[in-house]
Amino acid sequence: MSIEIKISKRRISYKIAMKHLLKRVEQVKKNKDKELLWILEHPLTYTAGIRSNNKEIIDKKIKIINTNRGGKITLHNPGQKIIYFVLNLNKRKKDIRKLIYVIEKSIIEFLKIYKINGKKDEKNIGIWVNKKKIAAIGLRISKWIAYHGCSINISNNLDQYLKIIPCGLDNQKITSIYNENGVIVKNIEKKLRNIFIKNISKI
């Protein structure tokens, strides 16, 4: 199946990204556009999924954007890569667990490039390194169109997590590639694209 690949070099605001993503979802539902894989970064943004609550906000001064993805409150900021999808499972396998497995597998493969051993957790969705979360996954399915996606902490400011309880977790238990190995990672978009496209093709 044909997937449009978008790689944004400049940071895209969360609201603008969601506007484009939701428009693509409606177009894919009507078979009027291609599926989408979109790699980007957001400016500093806190978002709340459908399972979040106000107790997870430590700093009451921060602005929270409500979203229809699964999960709780999380952070997006510069140095974190976002991979958004719009995938038509009507034309693939109608298997949400398989989709999540493919996303997890792709993140783990990407981390191995930088000698980081990422692992799944049976109780908590996402990818973990030494019991610290390095990647988050949040999806929504509408008429078997899967959208939203995942985020991977590359070299972002982890202190900004201290203002929330991210994904319902201890906010000290978040990490990044830079935090793990001190490597400044650059020009990673093509690596992410190749890994995700390879694995998505198997759904």
- Output the tens digit of pLDDT for each of the chain's 203 residues: 689 999 999 999 999 999 999 999 999 999 999 999 999 999 999 998 888 888 889 999 999 999 988 788 899 999 999 999 999 999 999 999 999 999 999 999 999 999 999 999 877 889 999 999 999 999 999 999 999 999 999 999 999 999 998 876 766 789 999 999 998 888 899 999 999 999 999 99
CATH of the domain at 134: 3.30.930.10
The candidate with the shortest Cα–Cα distance to 151, out of 46, 18, 41, 47, is 41
Euclidean distance between CA atoms 167 and 128, whole angstroms:
13
List phi, psi (to 5°) of 157: -75, 105
Residues annotated catalytic, as ranges: 167
Q: Domain limits at 106?
A: 3-200
The per-residue pLDDT for 111 is 97
Structure tokens, 107: 């993140």
The per-residue pLDDT for 168 is 67
Tally of domains within the chain: 1
The per-residue pLDDT for 15 is 96
The per-residue pLDDT for 33 is 96
Using H for helix, E for strand and C for coil, what is the string for the chain? CCEEEEECCCCCCHHHHHHHHHHHHHHHHCCCCCEEEEEECCCCEEEECCCCCHHHECCCCCCEEECCCCCCEEEECCCEEEEEEEEEHHHCCCCHHHHHHHHHHHHHHHHHCCCCCCEECCCCCCEEECCEEEEEEEEEEECCEEEEEEEEECCCCHHHHHHECHHHCCCCCECCHHHHHCCCCCCCHHHHHHHHHHHHCCC
Structure tokens, 104: 């997890």
Structure tokens, 189: 């978009």
User: Would the pTM of this model clear 0.75, i.e. be above it?
Assistant: yes
The per-residue pLDDT for 199 is 97
As a dihedral over the C-alpha atoms of residue 20, residue 26, residue 202, residue 189, rounded to 10 degrees, the angle is: 0
The per-residue pLDDT for 46 is 96
Query: What would the pLDDT profile of 70-126 be if each residue is shown by its tens digit?
Result: 788 899 999 999 999 999 999 999 999 999 999 999 999 999 999 999 999 877 889
Going from the C-alpha of 190 to that of each of 7, 39, 132, the distances in angstroms are 9, 10, 26
The candidate with the shortest Cα–Cα distance to 46, out of 28, 24, 26, 61, is 61
Give the torsion sign (CA, 154, 73, 167, 97).
negative
